Amino acid sequence: MTETHRKPGTTLSPQTTPDLETADVIVVGAGPTGLLLAGDLAEAGLSVTLLERRPATLSNLTRALAVHARSLEQLDARGLADELVAGGHRLTSLGLFGSAVLAPAQLPTRFPFVLITPQFEVERLLERRARKAGVTFRYDSEVLGVDQDADGVTIRLRDGDGIGSAHASYVVGTDGARSTVRQAIGLPFPGKTIIRSMLLADVRLAQEPPSPFTVSASPDAFALIGSFGDGWYRVIGWNRHAQADDRAAVDFAEIREVARLALGTDYGMHDPRWISRFHSDERQAPQYRVGRVFLAGDAAHVHSPAGGQGMNVGLQDAANLSWKLAAVLKGHSPDTLLDSYQTERHPVGKTVLRSSGAMVRLALLRSAPGRALRGFLAQAVNHVRPLSRRAIGTVSGIAVSYPAERGAHPLTGHRAPDVRLADGSRLYELLRKGTFVLIAPAGDTAALGPAADRVLTASWASDRRTALLVRPDGYIAWATDATRPADRGAALRTALAHWTGAGIAPTAAPGSNSAVRQAS
């Protein structure tokens, strides 16, 4: 365990930059992924430095607009979802390609909708939480190199005072598609560009669209318009007959034209505050971990904007990695636990690349047979209920599950629903403590043993006899239907030893509490 001498909550301005002290974890990149990760680690009692190349000014320009159900559940487990939902638009249908429409209302979740809200609102809540937890923010800090050995990682950086360095036990690169961290550790970013000359603008509209999120396509163009909720709208479009290099200037007339081609109207667009041209890639790093350095979010994977999954996948990367880093740094788990980040999240990234890419390719089909195929698939998605459930489950993240060992209970690795508990609370309210949660039948007194300070206990509100051990990220680590107390207790002790390090002497982290309050 490394030491730190900085007081929690210190924020260093670009003008006054002393030598950096050692932190437990350095996170590079202050987007949603990095902010959630840093906040989780700091709330676990670890010292965290967050490096960001940009100046310390929250921009009102944004990329993402959609927050899906699984991300809202993760934010709920951090006490942030209700505030975010209150300021956004709930979308009860999501257009994909052709006439295909997904219905989030069928999702088994507290958040059966897509929340339309700008990315900067997500960042605002996550930054507030991270600061309160004691994360040290360093803006105007550019990473120049990354060196690691068996004891830790040293980052070479440039800030307002010149060139310096910082050291940590682990480093996580959440610094976007052009990740300096990824390049510094020698990881390739294989893939290809799937669509060029996409147009983006933030505009005012004279007429209000029929939905906060409006999307449509014609044989030669597609466009979407999303509301920020404050009178500004995000427009993204593509015109088959107006392809240009990313560096080519964009005329506002191009934006209006692509909207009219795809949507039939431009809704009286005026007063653009931001216009750009970009391309969309499909790329994924082959590994998310190299020694003591990890990648998450766009630094690990990028894909088309179809389905609005980008920011959401990054948030879920962070939720998967944060509790594992905390467990290892606090001595509760061996370093090998961190290998499961690659095992669990890399396949998810690959699935998102494939599904979002398929949506774009279907939307761009131009030939008569291609359009006929697209129409057939749209009808199937709309009317074949199992296919519809699978599609919305995949896009929303609700259907994501992780590999389980052979012979494990069928629930193992699956997302835990936000069940009501005997004391009237919800599971995701208990997860706000950042610990495992054991849900057992009322009256079950199986001993927790050495891991008692790492597990909250709760009872079903019903007479269900299944026992579940839920991970801090809301996935089921272990379950049993055994009814004999001896069998249940032995299986539970084995699971606790595997997941929470029972029998491993804990190492106190800087600022951490020695025990976690248990809930009955």
CA distances from 476 to 199, 400, 471 (A): 42, 12, 6
CA angle 52, 54, 56 (to 5 degrees): 90
Q: What is the mean pLDDT of residues 252-270?
A: 93
DSSP 330: T
Q: What is the pLDDT of residues 29-42, one digit of tens each?
A: 999 999 999 999 99
Cα distance between residue 289 and residue 292, in whole Å: 7
The helix (H) or strand (E) run that includes residue 346 is helix 339-364
Q: How many helices (H) and strands (E) does the chain have?
A: 12, 24
Residue 157 CB burial class (10 angstroms; 0-12, 13-18, ≥19): buried
pLDDT for residue 513 is more than 50: no
pLDDT for residue 363 is more than 50: yes
* Residue 271 banded pLDDT, cuts 50, 70, 90: very high
Task: Pull the structure tokens for residue 70.
Answer: 């699984």
Bigger pLDDT: 493 vs 12: 493
Residue 1 CB burial class (10 angstroms; 0-12, 13-18, ≥19): middle
Q: What is the pLDDT of residues 119-130, one digit of tens each?
A: 999 999 999 999
pLDDT for residue 62 is more than 70: no
DSSP 48: E
pLDDT for residue 76 is more than 80: yes
pTM for this entry: 0.87
* Residue 518 banded pLDDT, cuts 50, 70, 90: very low
Please identify which residue in the block is written with the tokens 């467990």. Answer: 327
pLDDT for residue 307 is more than 90: no
- Give me the pLDDT at residue 17, please: 40
Strand partners, 80: none
Q: What is the pLDDT of residues 139-164, one digit of tens each?
A: 999 999 999 999 999 999 999 888 99
Cα distance between residue 66 and residue 58, in whole Å: 19
Q: Which residues contact 207 (CB under 8 A, 6 or more apart)?
A: 265, 267, 268
Domains of the chain by range and CATH? 11-61+119-189+285-361 (3.50.50.60), 409-520 (3.40.30.120)
Q: Which residues contact 336 (CB under 8 A, 6 or more apart)?
A: none
- Give me the pLDDT at residue 18, please: 45
